[in-house]
Amino acid sequence: MMALKEKIEALKRQRNAVILAHYYTEGDVQDVADFVGDSLALSQKAATTDADVILFAGVHFMGETAKILSPQKKVLMPDMAAGCSLADSCRAEDFAAFIAAHPGHTVISYVNTTAEVKALTDIVCTSSNAVQIVESLPKDEPIIFGPDRNLGNYIKNITGRENMLIWDGACHVHEEFSLEKILELKKEYPQAKVLTHPECKRPIILVSDYVGSTAGLLKYATEDTSTDTYIVVTEPGVLHQMKKAAPGKTFIPAPPMDSTCGCNNCSFMKLVTLRKMADALERMEPEIVIPEEVRAKAEKSIRRMLDISKKLGFI
Ligand code: 13P
Ligand code: SF4
C-alpha cells in the first residue's frame, strides 16, 4: 500500500497531474487525492486547475464533466467501467424525444448524466444547488427536470413549482435504503440525527433531520452540536471524511433493504483502487474523449450552473 502511494505521488509530479476524488471512493483513494469533494466542488476544481492532467477518482460522468470544462487537459479514469445507474437511467435519445414532446420548457439536468444529455440541457445542477437553480427561474417557468425522480420531487415539494415535469430515473444505491431499518436504528439510538442525500425516496426524506449533498451532510455532521450520533443515509464512503473531521462523534451508515453486510456501497465508485490509479498515471490511459460538438454544448449548460452558483455564493 505504502509503495503504491509513493508510486502515485512520484507519477503525479512527473505528469504534473492533479488527483480529484469523490467522497464515495474508498478511504485510501481519498487519502492520496489533492482534493476530495462533492460533484459541485469537483467540477469547479476541474474548471480551475492548472495541472496538465486530471486523474479523476470517481465515476464516468464526473470525468466527463472535468473534460467538458478543461478540454485542453488530459482526463484519466482509473476504471472506465465505473459508471452510474442514475446516468444510465436517462439515454440521450430518449431524453431528446421527451424534450421534443414538451416544447417551451427549460431543461435542468442533474450532473449525474452523460455529456450527450448535458448537451440537450439548458442548466446543469448538483444536489448542492438544485433548489437554488430552480428558484433562480421565474415562478411560472415550465421546467423539465431529469434524471432523478427523487431529487426532482424533493425540489418540487420545497419550491412548490407546479410546472415541473420530472424524468423517471433513479440511483440504485439511494433507492435501496430501508425506511423500516432506519426507524429501527432510530429506536436503538434515540439521540441520533438522520442525515440524508436527496436522491433517497420521500418517506426517508420525511424522517430526516437534514437533507443535503455529500458536502452538505459532511458540513452538518461536523458543525452540529445538538448530538454526537448520526445515521447517515447515503453511500458510506462519505463516513471517511466525517470520522476525520469529527473523531469524537459516532456515524452509523444506514443499511439497505436486503443486506448481509449492512452496507450500501456504490459498486461503481468502489471500482476505483490505488493500483488502477497508479496504472492510469503510468500508462496515461484510459482517457476521457468527447466529440467537440457535444462537449461545447454541454459546457454551456455547466457554465450556466457555475455562473448561477457563483452569483448565489455557493462557490
Ligand atoms: P453529490 O453531488 O452530493 O456529491 O452526489 C453525487 C452522487 O453521485 C450522489 O449519488
Ligand atoms: Fe451514480 Fe448512485 Fe453511484 Fe452516485 S451512488 S455514482 S448516483 S450509482
Can you list the domains of the chain with their CATH numbers?
Answer: 2-83+269-284 (3.40.50.10800), 86-171+295-312 (3.40.50.10800), 177-253 (3.40.50.10800)
| Residue nearest ligand 1's atom 6 by CA | 39
C-beta 177 within 6 A of ligand 2: no
CA-to-CA separations, 148 to 88, 112, 172, 189, in angstroms, rounded: 11, 9, 11, 31
Q: CA-CA distance, 30 to 24, in Å (whole number)?
A: 9
Q: What's residue 314's pLDDT?
A: 83
107 lines ligand 2 (CB under 6 A): no
Distance of CA 88 from the midpoint of ligand 2 (Å): 10
Distance 266 CA to ligand 2 centre (A): 6
Report CA Rg, the chain: 19
Q: How far is the CA of 282 from the centre of ligand 2 (A)?
A: 27
Any atom of ligand 2 within 6 Å of the Cβ of 214? no
Nearest to 152 by CA among 140, 165, 142: 165
**Angle in degrees, CA 65, 67, 69, rounded to 5:** 70
**What atom in ligand 2 is closest to the CA of residue 199?**
7
C-alpha cell read off for 248: 469524537
Count of positions (residues) in the chain: 315
This model's pTM is above 0.85:
yes
Q: Distance between terminal CA atoms of the chain? A: 34
Please give the number of the atom of ligand 2 that sits closest to the Cα of 22.
6
- What's the one-letter identity of residue 102? H
Question: Given ligand 1 and candidates 85, 213, 271, which is best to mutate, with the most ligand atoms within 8 Å of its CB?
Answer: 213
Q: Which residues contact 130 (CB under 8 A, 6 or more apart)?
A: 108, 110, 151, 155, 198
Atom of ligand 1 nearest to the CA of 127: 2
pLDDT at 10: 98
Asked if residue 306 has its Cβ within 6 Å of ligand 2, the reply is no
Contact between residue 92 and residue 68 where contact means Cβ atoms under 8 Å apart: no
Which of ligand 2's atoms lies nearest the C-alpha of 58?
Answer: 6
* Strand order across the beta sheet in which 35-37 lies: 35-37, 17-22, 53-57, 74-76
Ranges of the chain whose pLDDT falls below 50:
none
CB 167 within 8 A of CB 91: no
